Structure 1
Amino acid sequence: MGTDEQYGVAVFRVLDGEPGASSVDVLRAIADGERRHRRVRLAGSAGVATAVLGVLAAGWLLPTGWRGPATPQTADSISAPPSAPPSAAAHLVCRAAQLPTPPGQPPKGVVSGADPSGRYLVGRTYPDNDHPSPVIWVDGTPHPVAIPGDDPGLVDVNASGTAVGISLVHDAFTSWVYTGGVVTQLKGGPAQVAAIDEHGTMVGSTAAGAVRWDSLGADPVPLPSPVPGWKTTARDIDQDGTILGTASRGAYENVAVLWHPDGRVETLPAPTGYGATSTDYRGTAIRGGYVLGKALYDWPGGKRFDGVVWNLRTGTVTSTPGLFNAVNGTGWIAGSSGLVIAPGKVALPGLSPADDARSTEVYTLSDDGTRLAGQVGGTPLPVVWTCTAG
């Protein structure tokens, strides 16, 4: 299963263990790699997190210190990505560089999303351990973003530098859009926005299920469930408008779902592994017609899981043991189990030889395969990996 099997299974249970409105603080549970898991729910569900710092009205516009894409300035420790992708895993060499945090802040930080080129990265840093600060990195330079509420963070960004994020307001998840230096709350009440595409379409979930926002200022559009009574969540959106998510009934009965631009709703075929067909597989990411998911299988003493890739062009389904979070338009996948370029696998180094490979978390993978980002260590430290043909 790899060196991080036990932790991976624990994370997977926490992240996807309950259907529908039940969720977790993704930015704390996965993206910051602190190995601390705290369950929170959307408004209207039981078990709401109690700590809320902000009491805010809808529609606030918050100016920040950054007013849009900056003139490209590559950080000293980060090389510009190569212009062409490497040819094969056997010849790929990746090196890690630590991302800076804003001036005056400690080095602790996490990366949770990126645009397809890897130029824009989003996540959060920690001026102190109890109050995270959302950040967007542009060519390696960090820019703080002021998002109201408790536990704020940015989760995704497109090639125009428009980012989306979440926070807790009145004990409920609230979704935000950051564009042109202004933060605006998305319409529709409590919701968790998960992704934004190059056209500005956003997807996410409310207590009632998966939704789509067609633009900033638009009301959320509910996405139908493929099975009546099953709860849905939306996780990602492809460049053609195809939305990926999960339909759930019970803690361990889940299926990956596609909402197509023409209105069709498709349940992806169940993957097989370990001598069984999975009845618990969820959609994680989509790019260029490749869908990444996670499949769970019963195993003596617990569960085992695979990263699953559905090729929508050919209909093929492939599985790789491990925990993966990102896929690009050529079908490469990356996560805490490394970078996989079928049939090979590339180990991602830490910032020093002493770094434990089990503390490496990867959340973004550029379209050309040359730029990955995430974090390493228990602190954790934000990192970008640059990969070239060796």
Structure 2
Amino acid sequence: MNRVKDIARFGQQVWLDSLSRQLIASGRLRRLIDEDGIAGVTSNPAIFEHALTHDASYRDALAALPAGEPEVRFEAVAIPDIQAACDIFRPLYDTSGGEAGFVSFEVSPRLAHDADGTIAAARRLWAAIGRPNAMIKIPATGAGLVAIEESIAAGINVNVTLMFSHRHVRDVFEAYCLGLQRRSAAGLPIDRIRSVASVFVSRWDTLLDPLLATRAPELAGKVAISLARRAYQFWKHRFGPGSSFAALAARGAQPQRLLWASTGVKNPAYRDTLYVESLIGPHTVDTVPESTLEAFRDHGEASSQLEQGVEDASAVIDHLARIGIDLEAHADALQEEGLASFAKAFSALLERAA
């Protein structure tokens, strides 16, 4: 039995949070699909910065390019990798009816607060990649919400990134549905559009565990999972049977899936497969770094856990409010911190692409 592949029995897809030319050229990505059941790939500026630093084939590819703007040069070497990965996943995309086999590429983090710039970048990247199983990553900022709605209305698959709070989840779901409504009202098809909403997990415990050490130590290591489980309950309310999404579903629309991001465990005191094991449930995606994938392959336990302890999750969130921890304020700070991290990595990769 392959422990990673076993997760699919519970309705969850596992995506790899890594991409490089070496991963593709070596055949390792194909093996991960065949052996572990990996159903997609995500990338971000930090992932590509690491790839450009450690994969010699990128240096050779960049050296062969004419001089030009660093971002243009970066895209010239990165987009072919996105296309190649899409092509590897294409059989899965086709056999799953467009439900799996996606590869994500992110717009520049420098555009995070520029709606028009993000919309233009999403359209350009979608056209440049030219694959139906690509997804364009857009952050869940205020400007990003505008761009998400516009991109969905334009027929672009979107991976919404850097979501931390209930408000982020609610607003992203709304932007997705508004985009579908606009597209349907224009007489355009909505049945092939797919989107995921990426809720970041481990960063919550990294942030709050030190604060809870003296104020509510019994909540340490429980906040991230509790917030994810609450998000899933809201997802069921927004997209489940009897919801207002039913009218769009009747026209072929598919719900926006929740995706668990940042599921690598950062606290060595916790089980290294904690977040993956705790958030297995139907109609979701978990995107995992290679180290977490290897850990789960070795000793992970697959079972349906996402709807276990829902009342306990609510109690944790209520307790946080009682002791004065403002989750929404911390969520916005975490989002800005994530944007800053991606912007730093993006600047570093552009230096390498110059």
Q: TM > 0.5 between the two?
A: no
Q: Which has the higher contact order (CA 8 A, sep 6+)?
A: 2
Q: Which has the higher helix share?
A: 2
Question: Normalising to structure 2: TM-score of the pair?
Answer: 0.31
Q: Which has the higher strand share?
A: 1
Question: Normalising to structure 1: TM-score of the pair?
Answer: 0.29
